[in-house]
Structure 1
Amino acid sequence: MWIVRWNSRFTFWLLFFLDISIILVMNPAKSQANIPESTSSTVSNTTLVPASRQSPVFFADRNNSMEEQVTPLSQLLSPVPKTSASPVSSHQVRSLDDNAAMGQVNSVSELSDIKPTDWAFQALQSLVERYGAIAGYSNQTFQGNRAMTRYEFAAGLNAALARINELVSAGTSDLLRKEDLEILQKLQNQFAPELAQLRGKVDSLETRTAVLQAQQFSTTTTLVGQAAIVIGGLVAGNNVVTKKPAPHNFTLGNYVNLKLNTSFNGTDQLRIVLTADNIASLGRTRSGILGTNDGKTSDNASPLFPNNEVIVSGVRYRYLLGSNTAINVFAQSDGAFELGLSGSISPYFEGSAANGISRYSRRNMVYNYGDTGAGVAILHNFSNQFQLGLQYTSINGNNPTENNGLFQGRYVALGQLLYSSPNKNFRLALTYANTYSPPNTTGLSGTNFGPAIGSNLANSTVAGRATLGNLYGAGAFYRINPSLAVNGWVGYSAHRYLGSGDADVWDWGVGLSFPDLFQKGSLGGIFVGMEPKLTSLSPNVNLGAGNGVADKDTSLHIEGFYQYQVNDNIAITPGVIWITAPDSDASNPDSIVVWLRTTFRF
């Protein structure tokens, strides 16, 4: 069995040379001069897009639909050119119509549909040549036969009055005739209500604009939030350790996630994620009410923090290195999840506080050994169809003590090659990860080693021994039609308990997705799989069941959910998780979890 132990220098230099090779040899990047910069210091709450790029790099941003989750790199890292209409001058009265107004005309002859024989010719000539208060359309017409509202006439009258005020202020009042002033006075009195309403609307708009400017959160930062209220519990099942019936109690919990996205130049992004929740896990490795990770839900709170304590669960900075490469440096992040390395294969199941009910239905175990931590990730496009992702995560990278730190402690180094068909209906991912955990170390999930899903033996280590793992995964996604998609994967992990022996762990899963089921925006899902199972173990290794004893039976994970989209911001998702032979032991009765999640996005 081939096992790799990456030391600090090997890990660092391999990632470094892979990056340099990609950028300089396989697909030379364009210079930074080719990256468009924002034309304003204010970053709008729109997707950052360069107009000239069609990159197939995908990021999952924890949304519901596949179309939202699988997003080209080009649509995340460069600004959308802002379009701003030129302000309408006080003379361009007719621009309220669908036709665009032309500038102030200097002679009535510039208007092609005005003839000297027209009954209003002299009036128009006076307004144009004496007062300069008439503007035509962009096709050089006046359209005098067009019907107008009293409000439009009031706006025109207001423009004429403004022009007269300009003439008076400029000392050219000798151009004003007494008859014209008397007519204007009568019109002003007659249209006083409309003029007052027009001025009132302008004043109100100015006031509201001032309030928005004073109260805006930030000119460079957008806030994206989601909250979930969850009712759920166990309706059948025993504790696999004590063999006694587990409590069948329902609970009411919550989950809150806030993302602060900041761009400093329009092509980069700093993301800070704040999280708080109080949803208790039904089981962990040999603990909890089930005594196993089988059937673990996706909404569980971290066991290392008090309930509803606000924690910084993510700090990541992303920038472009050329038009086809994105560099992500994170001080705290679940890199594979946030960067979309797993979401491209299960776009309808993977999300945060949405979609799949269980953690396992969302992604292969090859992505789950990492936990969260500090590190770097590189995403690069070879072409419109091929993407390479590289990620190095140090689980306890902020800890300076022995057997911890950025390079000497627990780590995961992951690489993935993703193929996407031209129409993006088919995707294939090949993934490899190398992971190492020193003895007696834990991460944010409270585990020392393993996928934190599946049987207890698959998540066990030998006390006082370091553990190595080589993980291999293959997954595919195929959208059969707009209303039906299928995805699946198989994963294999080779464990080595240093100084003791080896083990093999397998998992597989198949999911069916039904977008727009029963109504637009809703989603149905069915999933069947085998959570990680220890299939073989060296005869001299004891992981808690005896020397050389591996899991003896096969446990099936069966799950169904329906996400009812109430509106753009609210979704209600009932679901059920059924586990046969929990902990890969047929002597344990099946466990059933019922879940009802209501998600709010804002």
Structure 2
Amino acid sequence: MKLFQQLLVAPAALGLMAPMAAQAADLNIDGVSDYSAAGEQVTSVSQFSDVYPTDWAYQALSSLTERYGCVAGYPGGTFGGNRSITRYEAAALLNACLDRVTEVSDDVKRLLSEFGPELAVLKGRVDGIEARVGDMAAGQFSTTTKLSGVATFVVGGNAFSGDDAYGKDWNDSNMDDSDPRHAKAGESDGAVSFNYDYKLSLDTSFTGEDLLKTRLRTGNFGSNAFSGSGYVQMAALEVANSNADAIKVDRLYYSFPWGDDFTVTVGPEVRQDDMLAVWPSAYPSDSVLDFFTYAGAPGAYNLANGGGAGISWNSGNFDVTATYISTNAESSNPHTGGVMTEGGGNASSLQIAYTQDSWGLAAAYANTASDNWNAAISGGKGTPLAATVDNIGETNSYALSGWWLPSESGLIPSVSAGWGMNTTDDNDDARGGGNHATYDSATSQSWYIGLEWADAFVDGNDLGFAFGQPTFVTDIDYDTTTRDDDAEDGNYALEWWYKIQVSDNITVTPAMFYLTRPYGDWTDGRQDTHGGDAGSKDSTFRNLGALVKTTFKF
């Protein structure tokens, strides 16, 4: 499109952007588009097949075409003088000619007088837009940074059934049940609670292709039942933050392209998934239980956070990513931290992924050291036994995960699934289950299936359901003659949720979850925290949770 044709269209577009007294239906934008698309500017009014010397505006058109060159016709060499257009369109077209006019003739003055009110309206609207743009520019704190945030309210509680005699703080096997330290599930975590999580993200780009990410986070879940540090660790919610109302920087990294096919990410507070080219799941990352946000493999996708770097390579539908993170990289003591030291919390991973528009598949491998490493599958991602053996030595983890999306929303949901396996070998026999038992090696597994129905019942609302087995020990080798190597650690987790889209920025999500045997092998009284017999307990201990999560995005 030539410059003059662009000038013809621009004022009409500006008139549409500002609030108008006329309705949008009154504006013949198609006519303006046809006019601007006519091709070359005419140099003589005789080039129009439908303009005659007897027409009342013949002289004005002749002057505009031959003296100023700011008139174009419609396709086919016609001017369309009898074609109906609105006064606003005529004013917009005339306004586009004014920049080309150096001498105002009597004919042009006549046209200016005819469309004077419309020109004044257009000018006022353009001035108003310019003023608002100026106010926005003056009010923004940075021309390169975008601020966004998420605030989440959670109201909910837990109920327990079966024998809940096992006390998390039971440090003495001879302790009487009346001792307050011997807390029972209903006594310690049975109340309804009201908590919050708050995140602020600052996304800065210097070139348009790079990203400096800074995220601040706080919350007050603390030792709440939903935090992962309560009576049942697997009841941990993905959204639960335990900063005790203190604001903390939990993301700080820089990502930039390297050549045409590589992306490099480096930072002192970077998480594994920040560096992965592909996250192998379509199931929401902020659903309910924390376990269901790890693509079925909390070992390989351990979401380690700390100082590190990663590089990803893309070739068509294939992506390969390699990452390294030290969870205590800020320490300068090689015995307790640092980068690539024996005392560092080292976590490395490799992912190979293949993706299409509606499905994808990824395989991953991760290696985590035990020294000063927060166990990858502890907290809300595995049984107590799985978390214990995960921390006895170096762990190698493997994962296979994928997803599929339906072509349109309806009865068929999106499907995400994943499986993980972890093998751990004891480093020095110094770790294990307290004073009475030591583990030589162990194998654990996990899996999940997540379903999501988009636009369920009401457009904009989503329904979700997931089930699977959080990490549980499938094979174990005890370094003792008093224990057999049979692990009865199996357990199941299920969650249901329905996200109600109240507005573009507010959602309300009622949810429930059910844990069939969250203590796994420890449920049956096979051992207490020191590896001894914790007493006779029912193998049917279970946990039912219910909550309402309200999310505000801005």
TM-score bucket (shorter structure): 0.7 to 0.9
Written as runs of structure 1 = structure 2, the 5 A alignment for 1:131-530 is 132=68, 134-137=70-73, 139=75, 141-154=78-91, 166-167=102-103, 184=110, 188=113, 193-236=117-160, 238=164, 240-241=166-167, 242=182, 244-246=184-186, 247-280=189-222, 282-283=224-225, 288-290=229-231, 292-302=232-242, 305-307=243-245, 309-336=246-273, 338-340=274-276, 343-344=279-280, 346-349=281-284, 351=285, 354=286, 356-363=287-294, 364-367=297-300, 369-384=302-317, 386-401=318-333, 402-408=335-341, 409-420=344-355, 422-425=356-359, 427-438=360-371, 441=372, 447=374, 450-452=377-379, 453-460=381-388, 467-479=393-405, 482=408, 483-500=412-429, 501-530=440-469
Structure 1 pair 106–423 and aligned structure 2 pair: CA distance change class (3 A): closer
The residue type equivalent to 1:493 in the other structure is N
Counterpart in the other structure of 2:549: 597
State the secondary structure of the residue aligned to 1:528: strand
How many residue pairs get aligned? The number is: 479
Structure 1 pair 143–299 and aligned structure 2 pair: CA distance change class (3 A): same
Q: Larger RCO: Structure 1 or Structure 2 (Cα < 8 Å, ≥ 6 residues apart)?
A: 1
Q: Give me the whole-angstrom Cα distance separating, in 1, the residues matched to 2:133 and 2:288.
A: 43
Instruction: Determine if contact 1:515/1:524 at 8 Å carries over to the other structure.
Output: yes
Q: Give me the whole-angstrom Cα distance separating, in 1, the residues matched to 2:126 and 2:377.
A: 63
Q: Give me the whole-angstrom Cα distance separating, in 1, the residues matched to 2:487 and 2:494.
A: 19
The residue type equivalent to 1:566 in the other structure is V
Structure 1 pair 265–121 and aligned structure 2 pair: CA distance change class (3 A): same
> Which stretches of structure 1, 4 residues or longer, exceed 6 Å deviation after superposition?
89-96, 156-164
State the shift of 1:264 in Å.
Answer: 1.9
Instruction: Determine if contact 1:370/1:395 at 8 Å carries over to the other structure.
Output: no
Structure 1 pair 524–240 and aligned structure 2 pair: CA distance change class (3 A): farther
Could you tell me the TM-score, scaled by structure 1's length?
A: 0.70
Instruction: Determine if contact 2:153/2:550 at 8 Å carries over to the other structure.
Output: yes
Structure 1 pair 555–244 and aligned structure 2 pair: CA distance change class (3 A): same
Q: Which runs of 5+ in 1 are unaligned?
A: 1-84, 169-175
State the secondary structure of the residue aligned to 1:202: helix
State the shift of 1:283 in Å.
Answer: 4.8
State the secondary structure of the residue aligned to 1:99: helix
Structure 1 pair 133–326 and aligned structure 2 pair: CA distance change class (3 A): closer
State the shift of 1:203 in Å.
Answer: 2.1
State the shift of 1:502 in Å.
Answer: 1.6
Q: Give me the whole-angstrom Cα distance separating, in 2, the residues matched to 1:227 and 1:196.
A: 46
Counterpart in the other structure of 2:61: 124
State the secondary structure of the residue aligned to 1:208: helix
Structure 1 pair 138–390 and aligned structure 2 pair: CA distance change class (3 A): farther
State the shift of 1:274 in Å.
Answer: 1.8
Structure 1 pair 159–449 and aligned structure 2 pair: CA distance change class (3 A): closer
Structure 1 pair 504–195 and aligned structure 2 pair: CA distance change class (3 A): closer
Structure 1 pair 493–147 and aligned structure 2 pair: CA distance change class (3 A): same
Structure 1 pair 312–389 and aligned structure 2 pair: CA distance change class (3 A): same
Counterpart in the other structure of 2:21: none
Instruction: Determine if contact 2:518/2:543 at 8 Å carries over to the other structure.
Output: yes
State the secondary structure of the residue aligned to 1:582: coil
Structure 1 pair 129–508 and aligned structure 2 pair: CA distance change class (3 A): closer
Instruction: Determine if contact 1:458/1:505 at 8 Å carries over to the other structure.
Output: yes
State the secondary structure of the residue aligned to 2:233: coil
Q: Which runs of 5+ in 2 are unaligned?
A: 14-27, 168-181, 430-439, 525-537
Q: Give me the whole-angstrom Cα distance separating, in 1, the residues matched to 2:218 and 2:272.
A: 19
Q: Give me the whole-angstrom Cα distance separating, in 1, the residues matched to 2:486 and 2:224.
A: 24
State the secondary structure of the residue aligned to 1:360: helix
State the shift of 1:583 in Å.
Answer: 0.7
Q: Give me the whole-angstrom Cα distance separating, in 1, the residues matched to 2:35 and 2:141.
A: 35
**Aligned counterpart for 2:514 among listed residues 578, 589, 601:** 578
State the shift of 1:294 in Å.
Answer: 1.7
Q: Give me the whole-angstrom Cα distance separating, in 1, the residues matched to 2:324 and 2:97.
A: 68
State the shift of 1:411 in Å.
Answer: 0.9
Deviations 1:280-315 (A, max 9, x none): 454599x8441x42222111113xx332x2221111
* 1:533 counterpart = 2:461: no
State the shift of 1:407 in Å.
Answer: 0.9
Cα RMSD for the two superposed structures: 3.5
Structure 1 pair 333–100 and aligned structure 2 pair: CA distance change class (3 A): farther
The residue type equivalent to 1:529 in the other structure is G
State the shift of 1:127 in Å.
Answer: 4.6
Written as runs of structure 1 = structure 2, the 5 A alignment for 1:25-64 is none
Counterpart in the other structure of 2:493: 557
Instruction: Determine if contact 1:457/1:551 at 8 Å carries over to the other structure.
Output: no
Deviations 1:14-41 (A, max 9, x none): xxxxxxxxxxxxxxxxxxxxxxxxxxxx
State the shift of 1:380 in Å.
Answer: 1.6
The residue type equivalent to 1:107 in the other structure is S
Instruction: Determine if contact 2:283/2:450 at 8 Å carries over to the other structure.
Output: no
The residue type equivalent to 1:519 in the other structure is V
Structure 1 pair 466–559 and aligned structure 2 pair: CA distance change class (3 A): closer
Q: Give me the whole-angstrom Cα distance separating, in 2, the residues matched to 1:370 and 1:204.
A: 49
State the secondary structure of the residue aligned to 2:269: strand
State the shift of 1:433 in Å.
Answer: 0.9
The residue type equivalent to 1:404 in the other structure is G
Counterpart in the other structure of 2:528: none
Deviations 1:100-141 (A, max 9, x none): 4378654323444323354532343245446x3852246454
Instruction: Determine if contact 1:111/1:136 at 8 Å carries over to the other structure.
Output: no
Q: Give me the whole-angstrom Cα distance separating, in 2, the residues matched to 1:504 and 1:158.
A: 77
Structure 1 pair 107–535 and aligned structure 2 pair: CA distance change class (3 A): same
The residue type equivalent to 2:550 in the other structure is T
The residue type equivalent to 1:257 in the other structure is K
Structure 1 pair 105–301 and aligned structure 2 pair: CA distance change class (3 A): same
Deviations 1:426-462 (A, max 9, x none): x332221111021xx36xxxx4564432211221269
Could you tell me the TM-score, scaled by structure 2's length?
A: 0.76
Structure 1 pair 259–138 and aligned structure 2 pair: CA distance change class (3 A): farther
Instruction: Determine if contact 1:256/1:275 at 8 Å carries over to the other structure.
Output: yes
Q: Give me the whole-angstrom Cα distance separating, in 2, the residues matched to 1:223 and 1:519.
A: 31
Instruction: Determine if contact 1:325/1:380 at 8 Å carries over to the other structure.
Output: yes
Counterpart in the other structure of 2:50: 113
Structure 1 pair 151–417 and aligned structure 2 pair: CA distance change class (3 A): closer
Structure 1 pair 88–253 and aligned structure 2 pair: CA distance change class (3 A): farther
